[in-house]
């Protein structure tokens, strides 16, 4: 499972693998979320724009309390999934942590 943090413009966004325990925790979080009949709002053009989590099962877009998986949308009003993904940020990308944390608290 690969996580990509959408936060840069004009350069490749940071990417990192989730270890098996973090991947299992991610799947468990998603399993506990409610499916909704709504489309998430678009991400802004600059700054923090969410995460993409990819594995052999699916590509999941996570932003602003919404998770999009194909045509399905899950609601995460507490932004728990985004916070958990932020917790997996590797040390070499730690300088992005405060930027994302501030966006999550808005």
**SS3 of residue 86 by DSSP:** helix
The answer to whether 40 and 49 are in contact (CB under 8 A) is no
CB 50 within 8 A of CB 30: no
Q: What is the pTM of this model?
A: 0.93
DSSP state of 47: S
pLDDT in tens, the chain (106 residues): 999 999 998 899 999 999 999 999 999 999 999 999 988 888 877 889 999 999 998 999 999 999 999 889 999 999 999 999 999 999 999 999 999 999 998 7
According to DSSP, the residues that pair with 53 across neighbouring strands are 3, 60
* CA–CA dist 101, 22 (Å, integer): 19
């Amino acid at each position: 499972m690969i996580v990509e943090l959408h936060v840069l413009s004009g350069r490749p966004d940071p990417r990192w693998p989730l270890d098996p325990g973090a991947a299992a925790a991610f799947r468990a979080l998603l399993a506990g979320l409610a499916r909704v009949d709504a489309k998430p709002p678009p991400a802004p053009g600059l700054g923090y724009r969410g995460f993409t989590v990819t594995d052999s099962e699916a590509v999941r877009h996570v932003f602003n309390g919404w998770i999009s998986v194909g045509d399905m949308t899950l609601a995460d009003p507490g932004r728990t999934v985004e916070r958990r993904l932020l917790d997996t940020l590797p040390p070499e990308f730690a300088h992005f942590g405060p930027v994302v944390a501030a966006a999550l608290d808005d």
